[in-house]
Amino acid sequence: MPKRSRGTIRPGQRQPIQRSGSQRSSSPARPADPTTPTKSTTGRLPGALTVDEEIRAAELEAQILAEERAASQTQRRTRDRARTADLAGPHVREAAPLAVSAANEYAYVRRDIIRIARVGALMLATLLLFHILINVMGVIRL
């Protein structure tokens, strides 16, 4: 059974919002501060931007729009480059035999195995060299 909490109402059965015309704002009215600039003292509304601030805001907005355009162009170029690479790359038909598709998809596995074999051969050669120097010739004494 669902947990009930006080004041919950089922969807579609909301209570009407009770508004009173006498309240203009929910914050209590503050007394006027004589140091706060008002429209009568400065000629503009408090919180309004000056001409310099408006110019700076317009410059910032133009700069942001230019950056957004550059980012979208970069993204579009990257997407187009990926599409052309997909079209130009070797494609195997879906109906190709498993050996053909495996040869194309797992070419990197072959390269990795070759690298592992080279490192292993190098390690064995080094071990053989140390065996000859230490045990057979006795050049290095331990």
Rounded to an integer, what distance in angstroms lies between the CA atom of residue 116 and that of residue 44? 77
DSSP state of 17: P
Task: Report pLDDT digits (tens) over 61-97.
Answer: 999 999 999 999 999 999 888 888 767 655 545 677 8
Comparing 31 with 86, which gets the higher pLDDT?
86
Rounded to an integer, what distance in angstroms lies between the CA atom of residue 77 and that of residue 124? 49
Spell out the domain ranges in the chain.
49-90, 111-142
Rounded to an integer, what distance in angstroms lies between the CA atom of residue 137 and that of residue 129? 11
Asked whether 59 and 49 are in contact (CB, 8 A), the reply is no
Asked whether 12 and 4 are in contact (CB, 8 A), the reply is no
Could you give the 3-state DSSP secondary structure of residue 20?
coil
Looking up tokens 């000056």 gives 50
Residue 92 confidence (pLDDT): 46
Comparing 103 with 137, which gets the higher pLDDT?
137
- Whether 98 shows a pLDDT value over 90: the answer reads no
- pTM, full prediction: 0.31
Residue 3 confidence (pLDDT): 65
Region 34-58 average pLDDT: 72
Give 50's contacts (C-beta < 8 A, 6+ positions apart): 44
Residue 101 confidence (pLDDT): 76
